Chain A
């Protein structure tokens, strides 16, 4: 039964302590410390989140900007350690947290394939074996030899996705990646996500494009102000979410969703 679990979060809370202050200097720190006036602005990005994801589930995450979606993904990909609570993550995580995380804009696309895959924990030998496939899947053609600063955001997303998904991970994390590429690439991505799903990988997708969530996910969770507002069938949760926020401009590309009936 336990082997079946991919992610288990038990009452996770996460607090950004200095989120609204600049990095202090030692001098300031010392002065405040002596005065006893050390105060921190606390910002709870996640509050008491419970989440259990079984192997092979594809889960969407919706919520407004600043609701804690990306923070939650960072906890799951072990970038941030929760302030309170227990996080158990089973297996290798392939995080695509943002456009071009870990890219060096002065290096060429090809050099970035190596750098990025190394940062994801692969060895050079593993990358050598996969590099052609990665370049091929990205569809960047000759652009692969030009520096990354010449890439459009869509091209960066394509490269990032191709690298992170070249190896079948146990957990794939996609933060606003699907909405950047063009239609052809997006459908290839979705095809690959489905093949991961078939081979038993867990996929988490954050997107403001509601259609992308409905198309790829069976389950969806809704985060609001750091709290879990809903967790369940994708269509139901998305509808709940849209009922509350549907009028906000720019929050849901794709418009209203057809109801189940």
Chain B
């Protein structure tokens, strides 16, 4: 921990570089972060509300807001996982030659993901305004939700990133697993439609769903998540972080040999 703190300025620099690369590569740069979720949400609006017609029945039927919360959260989670798996590989010349604490690379990746998520809140808030969705003081709870999502994702990233060094096909495999996990997470659909489904337990006990609801509650439902749910989520995030940090520590010495 102290070691990582000593390298804090390096972490900032890595985050800045990652953000710069992300925005330099696309022609319209920064605006893309704003536009991309909105465009995707428009597509969903057409596909799901006109073709499939979910009734949300939660006091509000604002499907676009419901879906966009899910999409932003999922994008953050899945992109951070994949990027942190690539982060060690991508910095192999450094890891082969310099004694840097290796955690800084997945850590910087997840932090830049968090910053991206925060930026993407801007189009989300615009959507709330446009659709006259009620904005409540519960929105002030969002930093906690995002912190929780960040800790959980960091844990998963630390757990998985060494694997990508040891095995060449792990990233693709995780890609498949992520797409399964995506369908097991109520991003586009409401929990309600699963009432009589055999898949309900899978979705209910999916930790990603629990963390997503903490993010969606303040925005979509305009309330702070219930305390019981919150404590479960902090438990999940902490467990993921500890497991990830432990696994990373264990394999850390072997990374320079395989990279």
Using CB atoms and an 8 Å cutoff, list the residues of chain A in contact with chain B: 16-18, 22-27, 29, 74, 77-81, 93, 95, 97-98, 101-102, 104, 114-115, 118-124
Assuming the contacts A18-B258, A121-B6, asked whether A81 and B97 have C-beta atoms less than 8 A apart, the reply is no
Note all chain B residues with C-beta closer than 8 A to A119: 10, 94, 98, 100
Q: Are B93 and A79 in contact (CB under 8 A)?
A: no
Cα A97 to Cα B96 with chains together (Å): 10
Judge if B23 is at the interface, Cβ distance under 8 Å: no
Q: With A79-B98, A80-B256 in contact, do A102 and B93 touch (Cβ < 8 Å)?
A: yes
Given contacts A101-B98, A102-B98, contact A81 B93 (CB under 8 A): no
Q: Which residues of B approach A to under 8 Å, CB–CB? A: 6-10, 12-13, 17, 93-94, 96-100, 165-170, 173, 253, 256-258
> In the bound complex, do residue B98 and residue A97 qualify as a contact, i.e. CB atoms below 8 Å apart?
yes
A119 to B165, CA, bound (A): 20
Contact call A23/B93, Cβ cutoff below 8 A: no
B258: chain A residues within 8 A (beta carbon) = 18, 23
CB pair B169 A26 closer than 8 Å? yes
Contacts of B100 in A (CB 8 A): 119, 121
Q: How far is the CA of A78 from the CA of B258 in the complex (A)?
A: 16
Q: Which residues of A contact B169 (CB under 8 A)?
A: 25-27
How distant is the Cα of A118 from the Cα of B256 in the complex, in angstroms?
19
The interface residues of chain A, by DSSP majority, are classed as loop
Please name all residues of chain A whose beta carbon is closer than 8 Å to the beta carbon of B256 when the two chains form the complex.
74, 79-80
Partner of B98, one of A25, A26, A95: A95
Residue of B nearest to A15 (CB): B257
Q: Count CB-based A-B contacts (< 8 Å).
A: 73
Please name all residues of chain A whose beta carbon is closer than 8 Å to the beta carbon of B8 when the two chains form the complex.
123
- Specify which chain B residues have a CB less than 8 angstroms from the CB of A29 in the assembled complex: 167
CA distance A25 to B10 in the complex (A): 32
With A119-B100, A120-B98: A17-B9 Cβ-Cβ less than 8 Å: no
A89 to B183, CA, bound (A): 51
Closest to A29 in B: B167
Contact: B173 with A17, CB < 8 Å? no
* A118 B9 Cβ-Cβ under 8 A: yes
User: Quick check: A98 and B97 within 8 Å, CB to CB?
Assistant: yes
Report the minimum CB–CB distance from B259 to chain A (whole Å): 9
Please provide the 9 A-B residue pairs with the shortest distance between their CB atoms, ordered closest to farther. Answer: A101-B97, A25-B169, A118-B10, A124-B9, A78-B99, A81-B253, A97-B97, A23-B168, A26-B167
State in angstroms the CA–CA spacing of A115 and B94 once bound together: 11
Q: Evaluate contact between A77 and B9: CB separation under 8 angstroms.
A: no
Q: Which of B96, B98, B167, B253 contacts A24 (CB 8 A)?
A: B167
Known contacts A80-B256, A95-B97, A101-B94; A25/B168 CB under 8 A: yes
Check if B167 sits within 8 Å of A25, measured CB to CB.
Answer: yes
Q: How far is the CB of B61 from chain A (nearest CB, A)?
A: 44
A-B contact pairs, 15 of them (CB 8 A): A16-B257, A23-B258, A25-B167, A25-B168, A26-B167, A77-B98, A79-B96, A79-B99, A81-B253, A101-B94, A102-B97, A118-B7, A119-B10, A123-B9, A124-B12
Report the Cα distance A27→B172, complex, angstroms: 12
Q: Give CA–CA (A95, B93) in the complex, Å.
A: 14
Which residues of the partner chain B approach A93 to less than 8 Å between Cβ atoms?
A: 99
A26 vs B17: C-alpha distance in the bound complex, in angstroms? 32
Q: Are B7 and A23 in contact (CB under 8 A)?
A: no
Residue among B13, B93, B99, B168 with the most chain A CB within 10 A? Answer: B99
B173 to chain A, nearest CB (A): 6
Q: Return A242 CB to nearest CB of chain B, in Å.
A: 29
Complex Cα distance A18/B96, Å?
15
Q: How far is the CA of A119 from the CA of B253 in the complex (A)?
A: 18
